[in-house]
Amino acid sequence: MDTEWRPAVWPEIAPPADAAACERCELSRQRARVIWAEGGEEAPIAAVLDNPGAREDREGTPFVCATRSALQRAVAEAGLTAEELFVTYLLKCRPIRAYDKEAARKACFAYLEGQLEGRRAIMLLGLVAARFALDRPDAEMAELRGRWHEFRGIPARVTYHPLAVHRRPNLAKGFFADWRELAVMALPAVGGGRREQRDRGGE
């Protein structure tokens, strides 16, 4: 593992105009803004979280929250870079009070489908994102982890939500392993020359 790793603020990707003005569900009346994605816009791998949090909702001085730190650590350990990962959300607005969850997720789903189109692989982070994206509303994490799924023809894996890993360090080993497996499938060079070169110090 790279002992020099440090969390960083990844570049935010602005929403397209139609999404920024979206009024498809009641969250449009709660949000401060639409939060689209971060990382590499054309990245081969996408990661899907359930919904934005307070860090994403506000504008101003950015910082790396616990979710970001755990996610970035696993991504770096798998040999991936920020440019190779597109991080987005099932919901594009941060909920701040009670709302119709099913209606909001359905309203956002067309945006998500467009964001994921053409990716080589997808990592679904946590049960909320995994259950909805895979249409497995009653599935448990033990059923979904450790095997390949498909989202619109794209290979997909399921792993723990990064915040759960931050709070329960015993999950980290499996979380890191899930990312390594996805990275090697999506970008075979990660499992070979590029990662070995990085571990040798870039020789």
Report the alpha-carbon distance of residue 180 to residue 190 in Å, rounded. Answer: 9
Average pLDDT, the chain: 89
pLDDT confidence of residue 55: 61
pLDDT confidence of residue 56: 63
pLDDT confidence of residue 120: 97
CB under 8 Å to 155, separation ≥6 — which residues? 120, 121, 122, 148, 149, 185, 186
* Distance spanning both ends of the chain, measured CA to CA: 17
Report the alpha-carbon distance of residue 13 to residue 35 in Å, rounded. Answer: 8
Q: Could you read off the pLDDT tens digit of each residue along the chain, which spans 203 residues?
A: 445 678 888 889 999 999 999 999 999 999 989 999 999 999 999 999 999 877 665 655 555 788 889 999 999 999 999 999 999 999 999 998 999 999 999 999 999 999 999 999 999 999 999 999 999 999 999 999 999 999 999 999 999 999 999 999 999 999 999 999 999 999 987 765 454 444 444 44
**145, 178 contact by CB (below 8 A):** yes
Global model pTM greater than 0.85: yes
The closest of 12, 22, 96 to 53, measured between CA atoms, is 96
